[in-house]
Structure 1
Amino acid sequence: MIVDDHPVVRDGLRGMFDGVPDIVVVAEAADGHEALALARSERPDVVLMDLRMPGLDGVGAIERLRADHPRIRVIVLTTYDTDADVTRALAAGAAGYLLKDAPREELHQAVRTAAAGGQVLAASITSLLIGRLTPAPAATPSPRELEVLRLIARGAANKEVARALLISETTVKTHLKHVFAKLGVDNRAAAVVVAMERRLI
């Protein structure tokens, strides 16, 4: 079943499946509510679902379909590839996420894969998800920032650090602010602990 609020898109998608012997378009819906009604009567194996539609949007429709017809597999087919859109769709239970510029053969294979129980993701979506799961490399304080932190670790106050390093207290505070950001902490004690764990001081 094809679900999209633009008739020209539905026509184009239907045409992409014409003549494919193992795939039959059994229904078309213009919004999520119509998709739910047709799912009950037509029992599709796979649904190609747009995200942005009036009334019941794609994510809402996916949630309802997964609850009412858990065997139906839903592939999101959209022009939107933002982090929030991808996350919401997959969390709702989508079996795949493709962009509307996907080649005809990729769409065909995606439908087959989803029908067989597999997951399908556009390459750009896979990269996005991997990027979210890969932690950013930890930043290392500069030598001057570490000098400040070493003195802090010995119990020196900002004024004492400033005097020892011949800098102003404002500069000490700026260095500490940078240290906190780089070490992912929000106070002096935590900065010292993390720096010691990482053998920076």
Structure 2
Amino acid sequence: MDKIKILVTDDHPMVLEGMQTMLSQIGFVVITGLARNAYEAMELIKANLPHIVITDISMPEISGIAFAAKIKNEYPGVKIIAMSTFNERSYISQMVQNGASGYILKSAAKEEIEEAILTVYEGKLYMSVELELNKKEQQEINKIPILTSREKEVLALIAEGFTNPQIAAKLFVSPYTVDSHRKNLLTKFEVNNTAGLIKLAAKYGLV
């Protein structure tokens, strides 16, 4: 098989060094770049398009969550594996929502990183074995709806308690358009009312 091109983004030099050492021991991988922030990473992606970006979640200026959304918007074919020291469900939800296909902890062994890369490269979702997600939680992650950027804006304003006309005024669109987005959100979350929508969105870490 052709080598899988990987770019790693993390603001800690020690983590980048460790990942470089580990990835260089994996025969089917080639490292296209190491970046200390999202800005550097976007330049490297532009220069040499990788198959997969492995990125830290907690970074200064642009978080891994916002960075994932930017990659998916500009380079939809690039797969993303989130990397974190935090074993928190909300981060997983937000990364998956913004386009990540994998989630590993920084303490992951080389064998697990290999498995994560192969799984994500094949178009599947990979969650770290250390997270010990039970079957129900795995299903919950798979159920997180994919929202457009406008739907995310409308959802955030709904959660803040704004009415359709108020949201319309804030976003410079018609109340009819807002109502359409609201209905789409209810459909995507498979709920019947606003209360159910906000409850589920909060559960997934989207508001």
Counterpart CA distance in 2 for 1:72 and 1:100 is 21
- Matching residue's letter, 2:61: G
TM-score (norm 1): 0.62
Counterpart CA distance in 2 for 1:49 and 1:57 is 10
Counterpart CA distance in 2 for 1:69 and 1:115 is 15
* Alignment match, 2:78: 72
Query: How do residues 34-183 of structure 1 correspond to structure 2 at under 5 angstroms?
Result: 34-125=40-131, 127=133, 130-131=136-137
1:2 aligns with 2:4: no
* Alignment match, 1:18: 24
Counterpart CA distance in 1 for 2:77 and 2:132 is 24
Change beyond 3 A, Cα 1:132–1:116 = closer
- Matching residue's letter, 1:76: A
Query: Could you tell me how far 1:82 is from its partner in structure 2?
Result: 1.2
Counterpart CA distance in 2 for 1:132 and 1:73 is 19
Change beyond 3 A, Cα 1:111–1:79 = same
SS in 2 for 1:89: helix
Percent identity, aligned pairs only, is 25
List runs of 5+ in structure 2 lacking aligned partners.
Answer: 1-6, 141-207
* Alignment match, 1:172: none
Structure 1 residue ranges, 4+ long, deviating more than 2 angstroms after superposition = 123-126, 128-134
Show CA shifts across 1:131-190 (max 9, x none): 4868xxxxxxxxxxxxxxxxxxxxxxxxxxxxxxxxxxxxxxxxxxxxxxxxxxxxxxxx
- Matching residue's letter, 1:15: T
Counterpart CA distance in 2 for 1:128 and 1:69 is 32
List runs of 5+ in structure 1 lacking aligned partners.
Answer: 135-201
Provide the aligned length of Structure 1 versus Structure 2. Answer: 134
TM-score (norm 2): 0.60
Query: Could you tell me how far 1:124 is from its partner in structure 2?
Result: 4.5
Change beyond 3 A, Cα 1:8–1:127 = same
Change beyond 3 A, Cα 1:124–1:6 = same
Query: Could you tell me how far 1:119 is from its partner in structure 2?
Result: 1.2
Structure 1 or 2: larger strand share? 2
SS in 1 for 2:80: strand
Query: Could you tell me how far 1:108 is from its partner in structure 2?
Result: 1.3
Please report the RMSD computed on the Cα atoms of aligned residues, expressed in angstroms.
Answer: 1.9
* Alignment match, 2:150: none
Change beyond 3 A, Cα 1:125–1:93 = farther
Query: Could you tell me how far 1:21 is from its partner in structure 2?
Result: 2.1
Q: Are the equivalent residues in 1 in contact too, given 2:10–2:59 (CA < 8 A)? A: yes
| Relative contact order, higher structure (CA 8 A, sep 6+) | 2
